[in-house]
Chains A and B, each alone.
Chain A
Amino acid sequence: DAKTTQPTSMDCAEGRAANLPCNHSTISGNEYVYWYRQIHSQGPQYIIHGLKNNETNEMASLIITEDRKSSTLILPHATLRDTAVYYCIVRGLSGGSNYKLTFGKGTLLTVNP
């Protein structure tokens, strides 16, 4: 699976947009970019995923660069409840590896009042 690089931590003011970057320069052409988050003491929660095109759902937007080597997760109006560790994951396709999510260290996003 391609590796990802994320900042260790970020801060964001409540009500503002939170932009979380992720580098995945070794991503293969048919690998998806997934974002999950883990709020303290809870199980990870799926946010969004994409292959090439930008994606948007009720939680967030995912912007993938044209060369697919990096992406940005955007929480348009961050709230205190968005404070969590955010994981950017590239999902492999070979054999059984496409079944698993390989979590890195993620980015701790702290939303401040």
Chain B
Amino acid sequence: DTAVSQTPKYLVTQMGNDKSIKCEQNLGHDTMYWYKQDSKKFLKIMFSYNNKELIINETVPNRFSPKSPDKAHLNLHINSLELGDSAVYFCASSRDGGSSNEQFFGPGTRLTVL
């Protein structure tokens, strides 16, 4: 069974549309994350949730809204998509946010905005 799964794997859409990316983890972890990897391959944290509560919200436009219906899911909704949103988005989870805990990453969702 896949530990951290994301859907869809690929997403191609037009500017201005609204889209969602789903993430699920079956590891029983309390903390989940969204990272963005841009075309230059820099990987940056966007959000972190611990027990469904927002812990980290980096400088991300408010067009991006994470939603955590339960501990096993952290979905990313993006409004009014822009060209610059094109990137690979990775979901991750960890047992909790402690420094000794490793993060498990999903396979990524490649978003292309035309």
- Known interface pairs A42-B107, A44-B43; A99-B97 also in contact (CB < 8 Å): yes
Please give, as numbers and ranges, the residues of chain A lying within 8 Å of B107 by CB-CB distance: 42-43
Q: Decide if A29 is an interface residue (CB 8 Å cutoff).
A: no
Near B by CB (< 8 A), chain A positions 78-113 give: 85, 87, 91-93, 96-103, 105
Report the count of interface residues on A (CB-CB < 8 A): 26
CB distance from B68 to the nearest CB of A (A): 14
Query: Which residue of chain B has its CB nearest to the CB of A93?
Result: B99
Near A by CB (< 8 A), chain B positions 90-107 give: 90, 92, 97-100, 102-107
Please give, as numbers and ranges, the residues of chain B lying within 8 Å of A100 by CB-CB distance: 33, 45, 48, 56, 58
Report the count of interface residues on B (CB-CB < 8 A): 26
CB distance from A46 to the nearest CB of B (A): 4
Please give, as numbers and ranges, the residues of chain B lying within 8 Å of A102 by CB-CB distance: 45
B 38-62 binary contact with A (CB < 8 Å = 1; else 0): 0001111100101000011010000
- Known interface pairs A98-B98, A99-B97; A46-B104 also in contact (CB < 8 Å): yes
CB distance from B7 to the nearest CB of A (A): 14
Q: Decide if A45 is an interface residue (CB 8 Å cutoff).
A: yes
CB pair A45 B33 closer than 8 Å: no
The 8 Å CB contact of B102, one of A30, A49, A87, A99, is A49
Given A43-B92, A87-B43: 18 more A-B contacts, CB < 8 Å: A32-B100, A34-B102, A38-B43, A42-B108, A43-B4, A43-B90, A43-B106, A46-B104, A49-B100, A85-B41, A97-B56, A99-B31, A99-B33, A99-B55, A100-B33, A100-B56, A103-B43, A103-B44
Q: 3 smallest A-B Cβ distances: which pairs?
A: A43-B105, A99-B97, A46-B102
11 A-B contacts, Cβ less than 8 Å apart?
Answer: A32-B100, A41-B108, A42-B108, A43-B90, A43-B105, A44-B103, A45-B105, A49-B100, A93-B99, A96-B55, A99-B55
